Every structure is written in structure tokens, then in C-alpha cells.
Amino acid sequence: MTTTALPKHARAVVVGGGVIGCSTAYHLAKLGWGDVTLIERKQVSSGTTWHAAGLVTTLRDTESQTWLAQYSLKLYEELEKETGQATGFIKCGSIQLAIDEHKAEEMRRGCAMARTFGVENKEITPGQVKELFPLAYVDDLVTAFHFPDDGRVNPADVAQALAKGARQNGVTIVENTKVDDVLIENGKAVGVRTEKGDVKSEVVVLCPGMWGREVGLMCGVDIPLQAAEHYYLISEPIEGVHNRLPILRDPGRCVYAREEAGKILLGFFEPLAAPWGVEGIPENFCFDEIQPDWERMEPHLERGMQRLPILFDTGIRQFFCGPESFTPDHNYLMGRAPFVDSLFVACGFNSLGILSGGGAGYVIARWINDGIQPMDIWDVDIRRIQPCHNNKSFVVDRTYESLGIAYQMHWPNRQWETGRNIKKSILHDRLTAQGACFGESAGWERPNWYAKTGQKPEYDYDFHRQNWFDNNADEHRAVREAVGLFEQSSFAKILVQGRDAERVLNRICTADIAMPIGKVAYTQFLNIKGGVEADLTVTRMTNECYLVVTAAFTATHVRAWIVENIPQDVACVITDVSGAYAMLSVQGPNSRALLSQISSATFSTESFPFGTMQQIEVGYQSAFAIRIAYTGELGWELYIPTEMTLGVYDRLVEVGGEHGLKHCGYHTLNSLRIEKAYREWSHDMGPTDTLLECGLGFTCAWDKPGGFIGLDALREQRLSGPLKRRLVQILVDDPEPILIHNEPVLRDGERVGFTTSAGYAHTLGASAAMAYIKHEEGVTDEYIVTGNYTLEQADRTYNARISLTPMYDPTSARTRS
């Protein structure tokens, strides 16, 4: 029952009684965590949840987000039977409309992928749209897609049903009580402080919706989100409008529509939004609306109503504006908070909180209960957030763009336009002068490709070959045949130091890092199930100092993983030195000759073998060089103190011409590594892919003293017969198509997986990709070679070859020579 009495102790405290908090408490209770207290500052659902439009549509961008929606749909359908509280669920289906060929292509691709994830959908004609939704104007449609299983709910009732189900299973819900602080002792959340007293607990889960940033600041966790105005209108009753009408989603006009008690509800995702509550959300906010700015919205209104022209002749009963929170990359903020034990977060749902809420609560509860995430949710994992993302001006500025992105074109390689230039390398201006077209990752501006003379360094987006295709081809060729220069200063660089640094790292690295000074290990961090949590290099700099290098976007996760695995009372500290060093990677067969010309060091195989590090000098400057390659060619990474970088760069460029040096961007790094079947963490491997499944078992020091986290799981998997899923490389026969990722893979006509990353393999002459192939009886070498493979993209099918080994492989000859 709802009570105002606040317990002194609970096994878990959930902060926030919106759909997410209620779902989390419900699922914890279902897992036997009866002793859960949910604390809500006002009343259940009184934040954002009560006024949501309640669409539960399942076409989402990724497998995990699709799963969250599918789970929610099923849960909301069944919740009334279990709790006696209706959710207003109606399986009305949904239709998505395309008004131009680009959107049609995007949707065909998305729908092909969604079918792989079990989302039923069918392309339909404008005439069929009219049959399903007679009030719709369809003359401008190119095509449409029907999702018969989608549905809608009454969000306030969903929250109440989840709350009721939670209470029935022992959860205490305390309303009208604000959490003022999260109690932390020795880096662990141990409860919360409220105006009515403290509640001690083993676990704290923050589900505070648009109050997320504010609540995060209480406990030092970056939760970057910002509320924005979010609109819909409800018409007067219209004859013939009934609750079986499907939901209509119209990205071209940035609107959606559904029936609402015989009326039409028309909702908006305008391209340029308006942040709200920037100076703070009013203390008394409870079931409140926002004063609408209809002047700003008028053009969107006009355009949206054209989809249902009857609205022009019908009165508008209600203009509604309510706040919803949006995040800088339009993905949720879920999972284990970094750097604070026993603290979990689930908020920032970007107007998708109802349709994801059931699944989100399930995932968080399972994560807490099992000590490990039940599925790979990296795209929404809070550990992708960097401190710079929580800068208030940035969050506010990005919100203008973030709200509308859901209904914009989802172009491959699309770059954010707002909130740019947070971090620039010291070479930024020089690279601009070279024609760099920058993309953003983890706040860093990074050259993605270099424009030729007379070409603008700007993207011309397309689903097929984009305007940088030829630039990429030239850069790719330069690395294969001469030498390429990559500016990769964004790499996260972490020093792990102390008497026990070796012991700490050896427990979490798959490789044996009890190695001589100057040796470099390519290694992974695994979880207890053998899933890959990080992919990195570890270099022994001195006896008590290691340098850990990883991709910029994984910096928070990797740092947190190390910190969490430093036992008490050992001598080991970590320091992020990412900004202290720039990194220039010199890759290609001529890299040796080039570096030999600018440095007195010896770069021969004997003096400077693969997988080693040496301090080198370049003119007056010094750097440490690591012989390693992510390109499949001979190459070195130069880590240069930032203040010495200009000199080294200038020298490289000065003499580079003699060796065929070419500036190369991240798109080229990607095309080279995919051609060589090098994996990228978060695409080709993640927490639910074991090291064996992703084909990196060779990094394991199986017999190292003390083992490492995940070793037992890998041993068990090794003994349990052929792997049921394995990562393979794919090459399409047709040289024309551009693969992106998420393309379904078929073996003898049967779906066996989908691509995880892709790029144009210029040396091989076609698009290549990585993909997990699944087969219950085992993905054996024989299984691989005996199948005929095809790839689906939109409504097209391409023949393809697949291989467990890299199709481009001059490995020994070139990389290690």
C-alpha cells in the first residue's frame, strides 16, 4: 500500500515514481527483492509519465532498443491480468510513412533489420494506408510500412499497474518525499537522505526522469540530460475515428497521430526544439503542463495537419505542452553508474520512456540481481558518457537538435551540428589546412576524411556512395602502398601505476602483462561470463607504470572498470593522461623509411620488433613510439607530449612527400581495419560476446598464475563443443553496394545473423563487414564453407563470401616485417 512512513532500511531504494522507477521496482520485486522502497517527490507518474502519448512502437535503431520495446509491449498487454489495473493497452498496429525515396530507403533498411529481430512488418502502398487510416492524406507518399503488432497504452495507468504489481510483491512506495542526497561511503552508495530522514540500502537506483542531471550532481555522477517542450494537440471528436485505428508516424512532417477517445491526438517532433527549465524545474512541479509557444509551433502545426486535413475543419480541444528529457546523443542513460558501487541509473528516455519502460526496468533489475547485465545495452549505457558531456551549456545547446532527431533522416555518418568543438587536438588548425572534414567522438573533433583541392570538407549524405568515397579510396591505397598519417590524439590514455599495478592489471587483462619493460600487449577486459568489456593495449613503461590505451568513447567505462577492480589496500593508482599526449599514427610499408629519416632511432625488425615501445627523438622533441597496427600494415603510433607535437608533425609532413605520405581520416582507419577483419569494441564485440565467439582467444594467457576475470567461463566454453555463434568476415560479390551495419545475413536463404560493422574494402574491391553467425549445432569450419551466403539491404539481396580468417591478409609479410 502507498504509505508516507519512510522505512529506515531497504534492500534497494528506487528514486522516482515514473514509469521507469515503477518498472524497476516491479521487476526487482519479481526477482524476489521484496524489500524495496520507491521514493517519489510528489506522486506516482506526476513527472513526465502521466501526459505521454503512449505509443508503443517497436521499430528502433538497435537490437537492444528493439528488445526493450518488444518486452514492454508484451508486459503491458499482460499486466492487467496480473495486477487488476488496466494499462489501456490496445494492439492497434502502427504505420510509418515515407514521403521521399531517401526515407523509403532508410525505412526499408530498418525494416529488414527489424525482421531479423522478430518485429513483424510489411511494406504497403499509399492505397493500403488509406484503407487502414481513411482520414490520412496519402497522395504525397512514396511508400509506407505496417507494423501489425504495435500498440498503445495509457501511460499513467501503466505506471499505476507497475506500482500496484510492485506493491503486491512487497515494495513500499513512499510519495511526497524528496530525495535530497545519495549517501556514499567508501565509493559505495549506501542509501539516500530525504527531508523525512535517511534510508539505508544495499543498492540505490536513480530513476528521476528530467531531474536526472540535478540528482546526478548530488553524487558525482554525470547524467547529462535536459528537459524540452514537447507538444501534442487533441482535436474535437471526429466521426469515424475509433480506437482500432493504427498509430500513424510521419517523419517527413515530423508528426505522429493516434486516436484518443474518438478524437485525434497529433504529436510533434519539430526539428528545432526549445529547452525548458534550464534554470531549474519548479520545486512544486506535479502533473503540470508548460505554457505552450504556439507561435513557434505554428508552421509545424500547419505542416502536420496536412497529413490529416480534416483537422483544419475540426476544433482543437487541447493544445498540450509537457516537458520530457533529452540526452546529447538521443540515447537513454542506463546501467551501473561509473565510479560509485551499488548505484544504478535509468533516465533520459528521449520521448521513448513508455515504450522502453517495461524492458528498461527488467534490464536494471536483472543487472542488480545477477551482478551482470542481461544483454548488451552499450548504446544506452551511462558509461559511454564523458565528463565533458555534462557541461550545462553543451547539454542545453544539443537539446535544440536532439529532440527532433528521432524523425530526421538517419544518414550513415551523420554528424551532430550543435555542441561541437568541445575538444580539439593541438593539430586541429593544421589538419583543417590540410582539408580535414571533422567528425565528433567523445567530444573530440577528429578528421574523418580529407578533402582534395577545390573540394569542400563537408558531408553530402547519402545511403549509397557518399561524396568522400574517392577520398577514402585514395587514403586507403596510400596506407596499403606507401604511408598514411592518422591523427588519433583522442585516444584515451590511462597510466596505471604503483607497486601493485602489475597484479591489478593481470587480474583483469586476458594477456599476461607481467612482461618486460617496453613490451606491448593487445588484450581485453572480460566479465565473469567471458564477455568482452574492453579492448585495449597495455604497455609496460617502467616496472611500476603501465600505459593503457583505448578508444576515446570507452574512456569512462575502461577507467571505471580498472578502478572497480583495484582491491582495497593495494598500491595502485590510475591517472587519465589523455590530454597530455597527442598521438600520430604512421602506417604503411614506407613508415619505416619515413620515421628513420626524422628520428635517430632504429626502426628495423630486429631493433624495434612488433608489439614493443621505445622512447625516440625527433629533432628537439621526444615521443614514445609503439610498434602496432590497426590497419594491417607496418606501422608505429607516436605518443608525443602535447607541447612537443607541432614539431614532430611538421617534420613528418616536411619529409613525408618523399615517401608518399598522405593524411588519412577515421573513415580510412575503419575501411582498413574491416578489410583486415580487426574487431572494434561495441560493434564487433561487447559484454555479451565471449572472447572465443569474437575470435580473439589468441590474446588469452590461459595458464598465467592467478588467471584473470572471465577465464573460468572461457575454459568452460572451450570444453562445451563447437561455438554456437562466431564472428566472421563477409565480402559482397557486387562491388557497388555500400554496407553500413545491421544488414541481415542469410545462409542458404535462412537468417543466421546480421552485420555488426562494415566499410568499403578498397583493396578487395567491395564492401566488407563483420557479422555473428548463429547455429545451434555449432558454427564449425565446415558449416561456414558449405553454405551459400547472401546479405539483405533494404529490398535488395547480394551474394557474399564469408570467412573466419581475414580475406585481406598479407599479415606476416607486411605487418610484422
Ligand X SMILES: Cc1cc2nc3c(=O)[nH]c(=O)nc-3n(C[C@H](O)[C@H](O)[C@H](O)COP(=O)(O)OP(=O)(O)OC[C@H]3O[C@@H](n4cnc5c(N)ncnc54)[C@H](O)[C@@H]3O)c2cc1C
- Beta bridge mates, 769: 730, 758
CA-closest candidate to residue 652, choices 493, 484, 488, 814: 484
Q: Are 138 and 130 in contact (CB under 8 A)?
A: yes
Q: Are strands 483-487 and 661-664 parallel, antiparallel or unpaired?
A: parallel
Which C-beta is closer to ligand X: that of 18 or that of 246?
Answer: 18
Least distance from ligand X to the Cβ atom of residue 512, Å: 45
- Residue spans of alpha helices (H) in 621-681: 645-656, 666-675
Least distance from ligand X to the Cβ atom of residue 82, Å: 20
- Beta bridge mates, 494: 548, 576
Least distance from ligand X to the Cβ atom of residue 43, Å: 7
CA dist., res. 688 & res. 106, Å (int): 28
The torsion defined by the Cα of 95, 97, 101 and 102, in degrees rounded to 10, comes to -90
Amino acid identity of residue 536, one-letter, is L
Least distance from ligand X to the Cβ atom of residue 379, Å: 17
Least distance from ligand X to the Cβ atom of residue 257, Å: 11
Q: Are 77 and 368 in contact (CB under 8 A)?
A: no
Least distance from ligand X to the Cβ atom of residue 153, Å: 8
Which C-beta is closer to ligand X: that of 347 or that of 562?
Answer: 347
Which C-beta is closer to ligand X: that of 209 or that of 518?
Answer: 209
The CA angle 356-360-366, to the nearest 5 degrees, is 155
Q: Are 732 and 798 in contact (CB under 8 A)?
A: yes
Give the residues lining the site for ligand X (CB under 6 A): 15-21, 39-42, 46-49, 51-55, 155, 178-179, 207-211, 215, 230, 232, 267, 322, 324, 347, 349, 351-355
Which C-beta is closer to ligand X: that of 212 or that of 498?
Answer: 212
The residue written with cell numbers 515504450 in the block is 355
Q: Are 368 and 28 in contact (CB under 8 A)?
A: yes
Which C-beta is closer to ligand X: that of 46 or that of 645?
Answer: 46
Least distance from ligand X to the Cβ atom of residue 41, Å: 4
- Beta bridge mates, 228: 275, 324
CA dist., res. 259 & res. 246, Å (int): 8
HSE of 206 in the Cβ direction (CA atoms, 13 Å)? 36
Which C-beta is closer to ligand X: that of 18 or that of 753?
Answer: 18
Which C-beta is closer to ligand X: that of 133 or that of 772?
Answer: 133
CA dist., res. 675 & res. 667, Å (int): 12
Which C-beta is closer to ligand X: that of 48 or that of 87?
Answer: 48
Least distance from ligand X to the Cβ atom of residue 2, Å: 14
- Which residues lie closer than 8 Å to 335 by C-beta, 6 or more apart? 344, 345, 346, 364, 367, 373, 377, 380, 381, 382, 383
Least distance from ligand X to the Cβ atom of residue 241, Å: 18
Q: Are 639 and 665 in contact (CB under 8 A)?
A: no
CA dist., res. 435 & res. 471, Å (int): 11
Which C-beta is closer to ligand X: that of 46 or that of 554?
Answer: 46
Q: Got the DSSP string for 734-774?
A: SSS----S--EEEETTEEEEEEEEEEEETTTTEEEEEEEEE
Instruction: State the cell numbers at 666.
Output: 577515421
CA-closest candidate to residue 162, choices 96, 79, 237, 218: 79
Report the Cα–Cα distance between both ends of the chain, in Å, rounded. Answer: 72
Least distance from ligand X to the Cβ atom of residue 133, Å: 17
Which C-beta is closer to ligand X: that of 119 or that of 354?
Answer: 354
Least distance from ligand X to the Cβ atom of residue 260, Å: 11
Which C-beta is closer to ligand X: that of 351 or that of 790?
Answer: 351
Least distance from ligand X to the Cβ atom of residue 145, Å: 18
Which C-beta is closer to ligand X: that of 211 or that of 636?
Answer: 211
- Which residues lie closer than 8 Å to 357 by C-beta, 6 or more apart? 19, 20, 23, 72, 158, 162, 349
